[in-house]
A = this chain, B = another copy of it.
């Protein structure tokens, strides 16, 4: 196992950072590493907004569900799917109507999400390779109308998630992942019901024991219980309308 793979496998989220801002050079290394990722047909359908204004950070922390590490970190980035740029290109190239029809499709919405996420994960590996810690913040999707106002994003731009980066003040432990054979299928998606269920049961044992050890027995829920409890609360059901109101995922 080489050093890069060791680094990748050693990942854990960091939610408590030292009060020490990143340097301009560090930010540049992180962002340009993001830019080096593959992009669908060279479209580069994403933008990154770095937030240093403390008032904006406070507002974002509140919108994301009062998460203090959104406010207190070395730097806070927001990754956005961005087709606004291509709308401007439509005007430049005098093909506004034709391009808008493409831009507003579900296919291009998917491209923007995938492009942004590939760039983000490159940025994460770069940050961690410099000894920094990170935490993704999906919580900004609790209220994208509010987040869009704070960041002044135009139409055809959807803020997808935040990324808190900084010097770790506290390391979390690593949660065991689904069994390899449950994530990885050979040649066909495995749909043998019994095997599928027994893999989930096996994983439930792993997770239950993990929580039990970490909490001295106070918690021992299984993964499927945890997923059931999370998914039975309908969350962010405004998303479809919001995304469409911004001109994406429409047709």
Contact = CB atoms under 8 A, between A and B. Distances in A.
Interface of A: 1-5, 7-11, 13, 28-29, 31-38, 40-44, 46-53, 56, 80, 85-86, 88-90, 92-93, 95, 98-99, 101-103, 105-107, 110-111, 113-114, 117-118, 120-122, 124-126, 129-130, 134-136, 138, 141, 151-154, 157, 160-161, 175, 177-178, 180, 182-189, 191, 196-197, 200, 223-228, 230-237, 239-240, 243, 249, 251
Contact of A121 (B48, B121, B136, B152): B121
A36 B32 CA distance: 22
Contacts of A240: 105-106, 249, 251
A3 B1 contact: no
A33 to B, nearest CB: 5
A102 B235 contact: yes
How many copies make up the complex?
A: 2
Contact of A38 (B89, B124, B130): B124
Nearest to A7: B4
A53 B236 contact: no
A177 B33 contact: no
Contact of A237 (B49, B105, B141, B225): B105
Nearest to A204: B92
A95 B230 CA distance: 11
A92 B224 contact: yes
A155 to B, nearest CB: 11
A48 B110 contact: no
20 contacts: A2-B130, A3-B129, A4-B126, A8-B37, A37-B121, A38-B134, A42-B223, A44-B183, A49-B189, A90-B231, A102-B231, A102-B232, A102-B234, A106-B240, A106-B243, A110-B141, A110-B239, A117-B118, A154-B189, A237-B251
Contacts of A117: 113-114, 117-118, 121
Q: Which of A44, A153, A183, A249 has the most CB of B within 10 A?
A: A183
A7 B80 CA distance: 25
Contacts of A53: 187
A41 B28 CA distance: 29
The 10 tightest CB contacts between A and B, nearest first, are: A117-B117, A93-B228, A4-B129, A121-B121, A106-B240, A107-B236, A152-B188, A98-B232, A107-B239, A102-B231
Contact of A239 (B43, B106, B228): B106
Q: Which interface residue of A36, A49, A125, A126 has the most chain B CB atoms within 10 A?
A: A125
